[in-house]
């Protein structure tokens, strides 16, 4: 996507493999590797999260990253997010995306996920050429349309600034143990 859409947007790939396993430390201070992700997410106009599907769910590494990114920091609150995914099988990460959308809309994250925009890439092992280009023309056209919609979605969300402060406050004060 970064290469395909380079004329329309700057897409930076963020790796999450450097994060330690989340353990909800009592005296929480933001880890440097988490703060780096927080800063980049906060600076971005929007975020695209790509998830593979393992056992019909997002990866443990992605769930771990989202746990760190919702514990004492709130970079996803009110942030436009587009979810895409791929899988080796024919379903193209449909179940993983559904779970991921639920996680992103949780009280601690409160991302603005783009509705009705699933991009499901099945048979991903055969889907790309040696240069990383998507070889399925119909899927490339679908992705183009969804990405154009995402750029408009970002503009729409930017016009809705009035609730962000309240949403951040709600995320900071949310505690599953006090429900």
**pLDDT recorded at residue 103:** 95
The angle at the Cα of 78, spanning 37 to 81, to the nearest 5 degrees, equals 65
Give the bridge partners for 15, in sequence order.
none
Give the count of beta carbons closer than 10 Å to the beta carbon of residue 124: 17
- Within-domain flag for 156: yes
Residue 179 has what pLDDT?
Answer: 60
**Which residue segment(s) compose the domain that 155 sits in?**
32-178
Angle at CA of residue 27, ends 26 and 31, nearest 5° = 110
Q: What's the CA gap between 123 and 121, in Å, rounded? A: 7
Six token digits for residue 9: 């947007």
**pLDDT tens, position by position, 9-45:** 999 999 998 899 998 888 878 899 999 999 999 999 9
Number of domains in the chain: 1
Residue of 31, 98, 23 lying closest to 67 (CA atoms): 23
Task: Select from 91, 102, 89, 84 the least CA-distant residue to 144.
Answer: 84
In a domain, 20, yes or no: no
Position 94 in a domain:
yes
Q: Which residues of the chain have pLDDT under 70?
A: 176-179
Domain membership flag for residue 114: yes
pTM above 0.85, yes or no: yes
57 lies in some domain: yes
pLDDT of residue 57: 87
Q: What is the CATH number of the domain that holds 91?
A: 3.40.50.360
């Amino acid at each position: 996507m970064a290469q395909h859409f380079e004329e329309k947007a700057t897409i930076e790939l963020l790796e999450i493999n450097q994060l330690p396993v989340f353990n909800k430390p009592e005296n929480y201070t933001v880890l440097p590797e988490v703060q780096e992700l927080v800063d980049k997410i906060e600076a971005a106009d929007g975020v695209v999260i790509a998830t593979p599907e393992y056992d019909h769910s997002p990866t443990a590494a992605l769930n771990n990253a989202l746990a760190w990114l919702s514990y004492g920091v709130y970079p996803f609150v009110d942030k436009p997010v587009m979810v895409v995914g791929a899988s080796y099988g024919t379903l193209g990460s449909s179940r993983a995306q559904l779970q991921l959308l639920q996680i992103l809309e949780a009280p601690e994250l409160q991302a603005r996920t783009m509705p009705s925009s699933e991009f499901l890439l099945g048979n991903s092992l055969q889907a790309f050429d040696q240069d990383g280009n998507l070889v399925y023309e119909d899927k490339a056209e679908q992705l183009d349309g969804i990405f154009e919609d995402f750029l408009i979605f970002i503009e729409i969300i930017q016009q809705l600034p009035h609730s962000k402060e309240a949403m951040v406050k709600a995320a900071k004060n949310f505690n599953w143990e006090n429900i």
